[in-house]
Structure 1
Amino acid sequence: MFFFGFGKLIYVTVLIINAIAVLSEDRFLARIGWGRTQTEPAFGASHDSTSVKARLVKLIDSVRTLMRIPLLGINILIIVYELILG
């Protein structure tokens, strides 16, 4: 019984990571002010890189950079598993 809930948790996690990985920086993230190309503060101005927004932007950027190739394999495994054992 525990493993049935665990499988759904894995599916939800993979779907959320897929959603983060396919976010377009130009079309979506920059429009809401979460792009990497934000204006940097001028010389001597303080920039809070520990804010929640800054951390989420870094997390989204990291997921988009590091998880694209592994997600291909994970998605193929899930598709094959669903086709065979459906």
Structure 2
Amino acid sequence: MFGTIFQVSLLLINAIAILNEERFLARIGWVSASRLTREANPGFQQPYDQTGYAGQGQVDIGIKARMIELINAVRTLMRIPLIVINILVILYELAWG
């Protein structure tokens, strides 16, 4: 049971990790805020945030923005660990089926 849950979650994380921002996510309007800032301000002309880190002026972000941040975090942070975990799962399945 836990093995099946682990395999399903691993497949979902793999699916999130391989989403291409230019080919898929941009078409449906799920582009990260940093990408929009880079496209709007070429070079190093990025605006300065006056509110500070998690200041009182920060507005609560919606579900869509949180999903975009989750996709970007999975694609950035889980790339190397996913390679290792996938190799281990493949070797396990080959050895003990």
TM over 0.5: yes
TM bin (shorter chain): 0.7 to 0.9
Cα RMSD, aligned residues only = 2.0
1:79 corresponding residue in structure 2 = 90
Q: Deviations over 1:28-52 (max 9, x none)?
A: 0000000123468xxxxxx955100
The separation in 2 between residues aligned to 1:69 and 1:75, in whole angstroms, is 10
Q: Which residue of 1 aligns with 2:48?
A: none
Following TM superposition, the consecutive aligned residue runs of length 4 or more in structure 1 with deviations greater than 2 angstroms are: 37-40
Structure 2: where are the runs of 5+ without partners? 41-57
Q: TM-score, normalised by structure 1?
A: 0.82
Query: Structure 2 CA distance, aligned partners of 1:83 and 1:25?
Result: 33
Q: How many residue pairs get matched?
A: 77
* Contact 1:49–1:55 (Cα < 8 Å) also in 2: no
Using the size of structure 2 for normalisation, the TM-score is 0.73
C-alpha deviation, 1:72, in angstroms: 0.3
Aligned identity (percent) is 57
State the structure with bigger RCO (CA 8 A, min sep 6), 1 or 2.
2
